[in-house]
Amino acid sequence: MERTPSTDTARSRLSNAVDRLSAALAARVAVDLRALAAFRIGLATLLLADLARRSRSLTAFYTDYGVLPRRAYVVDYSTTPLPHTLSGEPWAAALLFAVAGAFALALLVGYRTRAVTLVSWLLLLSVQARNPMVLNAGDSLLRMLLFWSVFLPLGARWSVDA
């Protein structure tokens, strides 16, 4: 089939219209990277506040000397080995809290954001699984926010990564 000038013009106009529509849609759906950076900073601050709140009752809720020793945890909840269930000593729980705090600080400044977010999520899963009796809906929300943050470009602005 032979192309005529009017066919090429119609295709060109249609292609231009699709390109303009695509650009307009992308501009309306896109998320500002500065907003994602502010979200990252807020999320890291929330992680630090959560760790500080949990550390006040560290021995009572996260060691073998508290309300849920590991032998009771294994019987009632899970036999899956988690970092927070490897030792029931207060020093080990404090060390894991300090490591989680260090990763939260790295998230705050945006250092290796994607990897730090993933490790922070795994440590949050571990600390929340260690004593499920003290959880509430906010803990579930924080866990989900941190998980989905792994897939966002949180380190694109206002970070060491940028």
Residue 68 within a domain? yes
Supply the range of the domain harboring residue 79.
Answer: 32-149
Residue 157 within a domain? no
Residue 160 within a domain? no
Residue 47 within a domain? yes
Q: In this structure, are 36 and 102 located in the same domain?
A: yes
Q: What is the DSSP letter of 32?
A: P
Residue 71's contacts (CB-CB under 8 Å, 6 or more residues apart) are: 64
Residue 155 within a domain? no
Confidence of residue 81 (pLDDT cuts 50, 70, 90): confident
* pTM of the predicted model as reported, rounded to 2 decimal places: 0.84
Confidence of residue 148 (pLDDT cuts 50, 70, 90): very high
Lookup: tokens for 147: 């998980």
Total tally of structural domains belonging to the chain: 2
